[in-house]
Chain A
């Protein structure tokens, strides 16, 4: 026996580690609509397997939690409600008395479950069945279910595989009139629970959509309009949400008119997202298709000179408010009003109207950690800034920006400065910015949402010399024009208040959606809100027009599904792309597109899909 050994993993340990990794992905790919009680029961089995067995609450307590769960879930057992109290008490005891986190967190999980979905437990105890909402939410196709607009993902994936790109575009448009926009910048929630993760990793859905829009015909016709209803709908705000509503309402035979304050349509797609991520001509392609259905547009609309919002609401049969969130929030530090402290939204707005600021040889600090912060940082770099610092008071891991955006910014030469909170801004004699002073932070205790709070570190302030400061710390809505109306605004959040049907409270016929209701969010959420509004406005107007498309979906190819690497889209080299505003993302080769499409497990057809209908053919 040697005194010490350098251990290498044996086969069993390696296999066990691999299984752990497989299982992590399996948990990620949990299909929507699982019975949460059933899930907790299975998690408890895992917790129990992890227990070292030393301390009583973990070894025996979890065993009891497990048994009680099994009794509750048994479809034929009579169980009384006092079991819930027993669960509560036992879990509480495990949480406060187990020797380590294996036990404590198992107890905590059950406590959270009892609070979060107690009615599911009660339904099982009282009626031996899952709560109705579990069965209602049960959806066979995770990607479709997780897409806020419920785009038929397996359908267009299969069409791309068959080379039917026009049909793919037509199919996407059934739920979302912005296929090109989403092909470029969608945050693809569809990929989060992709079942392919059980095999290897999720299908690169956005890349396949990009392949379809990159390879379809020059124009892909939109569906025929339904019979003219003579109903007029005012759409206030020509961003993705408003244009989506306008598109569907127009197809349904109504007459939508879009009132847009600015020069051009697109909202944040044009005035928020830089060209290198979403080339303008590609955005225009989607907008042209939408306008081609006969949407009337009033650009540079001035509420002072023409009808006010209140008058529009009276004049039209229905109104959809989708004004987005275009105002900035203040930083709240000294020096905020010095020259060259620029709100990100204003800078991007100017660029949207082709007013390019000159940052040549300037040092730029960007304050914030969201996608907008990354957008302005990368834009600043392209405008010639000598250096760009992204200053954030939390850690990179806490940033809301997508990983790929952060990576892109860093690759293009932006400098990430984490855990530094702006303290004040220093100016020179001419009131121009000369530096940002920051207070170092440390990651502290988590808030209720689980996100660690930044707390000031015991360290001196630092000074970052710079000539430009761009604040990207969130946006609000500009509802001045709505003050005369009855539309309810949540003052604290600064947003319009609606019900899930997107109806503005207490105003029949007035709907609102997109960023002005949710706060700054993703384009697909804005599109989904527009779709929901269109359906409900149609119904409000007394119709039930159904949107469908005559594209037949190919049957799945019969083949073994062997693990195959996910193909990522290639970006132009950082040092090449960082100097211009041209699109940075390339497309797949045909081989890559075919292989990626073949990775789709066709949940619309296999598994629950075939039984319970993997496709909403109309809405």
Chain B
């Protein structure tokens, strides 16, 4: 233990503790900007500089380890003055047109500057204005970038994709796409973790609101919306609701008020995915010699891109079943339109996703099979949904709950947990067990694959046969797992991968909270919703039953293959 004094308060901390962490333990908040715990402790912004007794120079609290007898003053005149000057310098280099910023009202820099009372600045603007020439789901505005390096670090250290890097030297140093390539050519999974870890509005998703408003305004168009499982665990954060208050009823009511004609749940097609993917797994598992192993899930487009970019030899191992978003899209312009009595040609199909890569997925030519334009016309992130609600000033506290439209709003708890790491695996196993044995397993039989560990594994027995499964989330963890598989160090039958740490709950399209990682809490919320759902098995979803009875006949039927499966090897990147 090391004894130190911070602002007159004596405390002892574990060896190796930084000043910032030590201060936090006694509720002393040291202002900081670039710091991201364990990921970016590089002392770039110098906002967390504090005074240490006996020293003339200031030290950064974020990466200076406490030493015995150290006396720290976090708000000494010198520390204050330097902090204010450094923030003023950043502001002079930052596009301060906050009104048009994606992070308006949720900007770490703006909060900091305001807290420090930097209202007048004598500095000359040095902002770098440059056009972002790319149509990718990830948009970067150099004028907003404060060069905190978090995007580089999260991409390197957590996702292991190394998409971003420094470019330019000296005062022109900024962040650009690594290896001097264009964004289109970058090996980017489009996971959006750089966006959710950006302290300002330098990174955001491609904005889809104008297209949506045009569709809503067109009387000839029937707008049909689906809402992904993980959205329900996070959407309330952006509209002032406690997590428990953010019920689906309220969300559906809001969507109707915004003007969507038909409101459905992606959970329906999550359940459908389980039927297709589960049946596919059984087919492969019972004809082991005919397939390469392990089989991988394929509902995460970030993972699909990763696999295609980094491990193309394994793409054939991915399930051919489309993601729930795309299955919904395929059904939207066929069966759902028919059941709702609308002309599929008029349907404008929208999805609300916790994800930025989904904006890429819907545009992939090879995934559109319903024959009426794109199966999913437009993808909005959870953040964009919240913006729609705030735009219309919808009173979310008092709005009256509304149910989904008929039939295709039905979803099981198994479909809901798709939004958390391990959820797809658990849901698939619940139904695979049924498909093999003809009876339901105990509902929590597969809970060993839950939790935030980046790489989990388990073996379950189904009719005496061991099924070896693994679950990974985060692309850094995924790479480790893939390397181990490739080297033959591990062997599995079925592997679930989600590109974002913690799964879709921590997705790149979710609401942003400075310094907080909420994937765990949101995931727990989804497991809670599973617990209270009357239906816990995908094969019990009445909409799924109806889909097969009235339209697709059975999982992996010819028509199911046409509409619900895709050849990933042929996808354009």
A residues engaging B (CB < 8 A)?
33-35, 38, 42, 73-76, 123, 127-132, 134-135, 138, 555, 558-561, 610-611
Complex Cα spacing A435 to B130, Å = 74
- If A35-B168, A560-B55 touch, does A611 touch B67 (CB 8 Å cutoff)? no
Give per-residue flags for B352-385: 1 if the beta carbon is below 8 A from chain A beta carbons, else 0.
0000000000000000000000000000000000
Closest CB-CB distance, A438 to chain B, in whole Å? Answer: 50
Closest CB-CB distance, B45 to chain A, in whole Å? Answer: 12
A76 touches B56 (CB 8 A): no
Does B52 reach chain A (CB closer than 8 Å)?
yes
* B244-277 residues at the A interface, CB under 8 angstroms: none
Complex Cα spacing A276 to B457, Å = 64
Residues in A with CB closer than 8 Å to B166 are: 135, 138
A132 touches B180 (CB 8 A): yes
B131 touches A135 (CB 8 A): no
B168 touches A560 (CB 8 A): no
Complex Cα spacing A76 to B65, Å = 40
A73 touches B59 (CB 8 A): no
A76 touches B130 (CB 8 A): yes
Does B201 reach chain A (CB closer than 8 Å)?
no
- 29 A-B pairs (CB sep. < 8 Å): A34-B169, A38-B168, A38-B170, A74-B172, A75-B128, A75-B130, A75-B167, A75-B174, A76-B128, A127-B180, A129-B167, A129-B180, A130-B167, A130-B168, A131-B180, A132-B179, A132-B180, A135-B167, A558-B52, A558-B55, A558-B59, A558-B64, A558-B67, A560-B55, A560-B56, A610-B42, A610-B43, A611-B42, A611-B149
Beyond the given pairs A35-B170, A130-B168, A558-B59, 11 more chain A to chain B contacts, judged by CB atoms under 8 angstroms and listed by A's residue number, are A75-B128, A76-B128, A76-B142, A127-B180, A128-B130, A129-B176, A130-B167, A132-B180, A135-B167, A560-B57, A611-B149
Complex Cα spacing A392 to B565, Å = 83
Interface size on B, residues (CB 8 A): 31
Give the tally of cross-chain contacts (CB within 8 A). 64
- If A132-B180, A611-B149 touch, does A75 touch B55 (CB 8 Å cutoff)? no
Complex Cα spacing A129 to B169, Å = 9
Closest CB-CB distance, B181 to chain A, in whole Å? Answer: 10
Does B63 reach chain A (CB closer than 8 Å)?
yes
Closest CB-CB distance, B187 to chain A, in whole Å? Answer: 16
Closest CB-CB distance, B173 to chain A, in whole Å? Answer: 10
A38 touches B56 (CB 8 A): no
Q: Chain A residue with minimal CB distance to B170?
A: A38
Residues in B with CB closer than 8 Å to A135 are: 165-167, 180
Complex Cα spacing A127 to B179, Å = 12
- If A555-B65, A610-B42 touch, does A75 touch B168 (CB 8 Å cutoff)? yes
Residues in A with CB closer than 8 Å to B41 are: 610
Give per-residue flags for B44-59: 1 if the beta carbon is below 8 A from chain A beta carbons, else 0.
1000000010011101
Does B571 reach chain A (CB closer than 8 Å)?
no
Q: Chain A residue with minimal CB distance to B16?
A: A555
Complex Cα spacing A34 to B169, Å = 7
Does B311 reach chain A (CB closer than 8 Å)?
no
Residues in B with CB closer than 8 Å to A129 are: 167-168, 176, 180
A75 touches B169 (CB 8 A): no
Residues in A with CB closer than 8 Å to B42 are: 610-611
Does B460 reach chain A (CB closer than 8 Å)?
no
Residues in B with CB closer than 8 Å to A73 are: 172
Does B129 reach chain A (CB closer than 8 Å)?
yes
CB-contact partner of A134 in B57, B169, B174, under 8 A: B169
Residues in B with CB closer than 8 Å to A75 are: 128, 130, 142, 167-168, 172, 174
Residues in A with CB closer than 8 Å to B142 are: 75-76
Q: Chain A residue with minimal CB distance to B167?
A: A129
Complex Cα spacing A560 to B70, Å = 14
Q: Chain B residue with minimal CB distance to A35?
A: B169
* B155-180 residues at the A interface, CB under 8 angstroms: 165-170, 172, 174, 176, 179-180
Q: Chain A residue with minimal CB distance to B171?
A: A38
Closest CB-CB distance, A196 to chain B, in whole Å? Answer: 16
Residues in B with CB closer than 8 Å to A559 are: 55
Q: Chain B residue with minimal CB distance to A562?
A: B56
| Shortest Cβ-Cβ A-B pairs, 10 listed | A76-B130, A35-B169, A611-B42, A610-B42, A132-B180, A560-B56, A129-B167, A38-B170, A560-B57, A38-B169
Residues in A with CB closer than 8 Å to B165 are: 135
Closest CB-CB distance, A115 to chain B, in whole Å? Answer: 21
Give per-residue flags for B64-92: 1 if the beta carbon is below 8 A from chain A beta carbons, else 0.
11010010000000000000000000000
Complex Cα spacing A34 to B59, Å = 27
Q: Chain A residue with minimal CB distance to B179?
A: A132
- If A76-B128, A76-B130, A558-B59 touch, does A38 touch B172 (CB 8 Å cutoff)? yes
Complex Cα spacing A73 to B168, Å = 9
Complex Cα spacing A53 to B55, Å = 45
> Chain A CB within 10 Å — which of B43, B52, B131, B180 has the most?
B180
Q: Chain A residue with minimal CB distance to B63?
A: A610
Complex Cα spacing A560 to B44, Å = 19
Residues in A with CB closer than 8 Å to B129 are: 76
Give per-residue flags for B171-198: 1 if the beta carbon is below 8 A from chain A beta carbons, else 0.
0101010011000000000000000000
Complex Cα spacing A610 to B153, Å = 12
Q: Chain B residue with minimal CB distance to A561?
A: B57
Complex Cα spacing A42 to B171, Å = 11
Closest CB-CB distance, B20 to chain A, in whole Å? Answer: 14
